[in-house]
Amino acid sequence: MDTEQTTSFPGRFDSLAAIGEYVTRAAEAAGLDARSVEGVELAVDEACSNIIEHAYGGEGRGHIEVTCRIDGDGLTVVLRDYGQPFDPDRVPEPDLQAPLEERDAGGLGLHFMRQLMDQVRFEFTAGAGNVLTMVKRREVSS
């Protein structure tokens, strides 16, 4: 039973809790296990935080369209914004072995998204906004 729903949220940090609830419900409806549901919530939070901070350059400058699509494989979340595009390949992977003094939180959001989701795809279209597609597949029990 395939379903798809889109909701638009203000590009503000106080939208994050509502966005989290929205994708959590979709992830549960998609039949994902509890840990995967938590992973989806975190990955989407990181992505939306990045959209507000980097694509829009701050709060209150645009909205985020969140689409949740459930199909036979699992859950697809699509985030669309109309801010500045960026090059994900230019974000360095965090150094997970560095000593404390050299550690920071830079690049952690993208790192979480890539670790927690099965697929992360960025598309930057001129005029139709930035589209981030993330997929989490249902675990098939053997």
Partner 1 sequence: MEVTTERLKRCDVVKATGRIDSQTAPQLQDAFRRIIDDGRFRIVFDMGGIEFVSSACLRVMIDAQKTCKRWNRGELVLASVPQRIHQALDLAGFVPLFNFFDDPVKAVGSF
> Residue numbers of the site for partner 1 (CB under 8 A)?
13-14, 16-17, 20, 35, 38, 41-42, 45-46, 49, 52-53, 94, 96-97, 100-101, 103-105, 108-109, 111-112, 115-116
Shortest spacing between CB 11 and partner 1, in angstroms? 11
Nearest alpha-carbon partner for 66 in 56, 79, 54: 79
Shortest spacing between CB 38 and partner 1, in angstroms? 6
Residue with tokens 């296990």: 33
Shortest spacing between CB 117 and partner 1, in angstroms? 12
Nearer to partner 1 among residue 105 and residue 140 (C-beta): 105
Nearer to partner 1 among residue 108 and residue 128 (C-beta): 108
Nearer to partner 1 among residue 16 and residue 135 (C-beta): 16
Distance CA 53, CA 126 (A): 20
